[in-house]
Amino acid sequence: MGGNSRAAKVAWAVAWLIVAYLVALVVSAQAAEIQPAGAQAIQQVFQKVAPSVVAIRAQGRDAISGSQTRIIERGSGVIISQDGKVLTAAYLVHGMDEISVEFPGGVKVSARVVTSEPAAADLALLQLDRVPAGSTVSPVADSNTVQLKERILIVGAPSMLPRSLSVGSISARWAPNTAYRTMPLAEFCQADATIDAGNSGGPMFNMKGEVIGIVSQNISAGDKKDGQGFVVTSNTARHMLLEKTSTWSGLAQAPGVVQGSGIVKASCSATSSRSC
């Protein structure tokens, strides 16, 4: 009788061990599924928005500092309308004589500055001379909807390199004339994503693939606090650039493919006197 009791206890113990092992396997499998799912979502957003991110190369004199030295600036931008409007940082293009916008496929198109706010917000709006066929547009979102801890993507177009991706979250929002009084009209989102020099002028996206900010070189490259980057909000761009030029209507549409053709190439061998 005692032997049967001990055998039963051993059997129950073995059964519980098997159950615990199976539960551990299930939990481990679920955890493994969750992580790739998040990574997959980020990859899907990146693939969706990357074609709208362009490389910008501008040649001219340094209008911001007043120097007559010929320079080249390089950075990023994002196409926000089907007629070829591009948002970028003002320091890249303000006062420049020649502006070339390079698409992911290598097509280069010249552009001109529609309006620029180099001091108040480091933002500029460009107009492409022509819109290449197959170009992708990213919609501009209402940045007032951005929440703290919200996941974001910063995409750039470094010179001679594929599109770069930094992933992080929103850690703070700053009203105009608070975080940076040298740019009194700009509202900022503070993010913990890595911001490299090639991201200057490039977009910050939410997980819907909408533009919610533009990276400012003046802040993100030269004045980081504890690894945090500061990005000018899309609403600042909307109020200071888009509404001024009556281009806001139709910009916040679903991403689409643009019809058109034509390539205008520009080149220069000078080197820049400013970091970019």
- CATH number, domain with residue 193: 2.40.10.10
- What radius of gyration, in Å, describes the C-alpha atoms of the chain? 24
Q: What is the extent of the structural domain holding 172?
A: 139-235
Q: 262 lies in a domain?
A: no
Average pLDDT taken over every residue of the chain: 76
Share of the chain above pLDDT 90, in %: 39
Structure tokens at 176: 């105009």
Residue 240 has pLDDT above 60, yes or no: yes
Is 121 domain-assigned? no
Residue 69 lies in a domain: no
Q: What is the mean pLDDT of residues 260-268?
A: 30
What is the reported pLDDT for 113? 94
Number of other CB atoms surrounding residue 206 within 10 Å = 21
Whether the pLDDT of residue 155 is over 70: the answer is yes
Instruction: Kindly state whether residue 147 falls inside one of the protein's structural domains.
Output: yes
Q: What is the pLDDT of residue 208?
A: 94
Burial of residue 93, with CB atoms counted within 10 A of its CB: 0-12 exposed, 13-18 middle, 19 or more buried:
buried
Q: Given pLDDT bands bounded at 50, 70 and 90, which one contains residue 134?
A: confident
Give pLDDT, residue 23.
Answer: 43
The SS3 assignment for 219 reads helix
Band of the pLDDT at 11, cuts 50, 70, 90?
low
Specify if 176 maps to a domain.
Answer: yes
Confidence of residue 219 (pLDDT cuts 50, 70, 90): low
| Alpha carbon distances (Å) from 9 to 12, 15, 22 | 5, 10, 20
Tell me, yes or no, whether 226 lies in a domain.
yes
Helices and strands (H and E) in the chain: how many: 4, 14
pLDDT confidence band for 153 (50 / 70 / 90): very high
Indicate the number of domains in the chain. 1
Question: Who wins on pLDDT, 11 or 114?
Answer: 114
**How far is residue 74's CA from residue 93's CA, in Å, rounded to a whole number?**
9
Distance CA 274, CA 263 (A): 28
What's residue 95's pLDDT? 84
Q: Any bridge partners for residue 170, and if so which?
A: 191
243 or 236, greater pLDDT: 236
- Rounded average pLDDT over 58-79: 81
Q: Tell me, what's the pLDDT at 120?
A: 80
* For residue 84, pLDDT beyond 90: yes
Supply 262's token pair: 């034509």
Residues 6+ apart with CB under 8 A from 231: 154, 188, 189, 190, 191, 195, 204, 213, 214, 215, 216, 220
**Neighbour tally for 5: CB within 10 Å:** 9
Query: Tens digit of pLDDT for each residue in 195-216?
Result: 877 788 999 999 999 999 999 8
Least confident of 37-41, 163-167, 186-190, 247-251: 247-251
Using one digit for the tens of pLDDT, what is the confidence trace for 30-53? 444 434 557 889 999 999 999 999
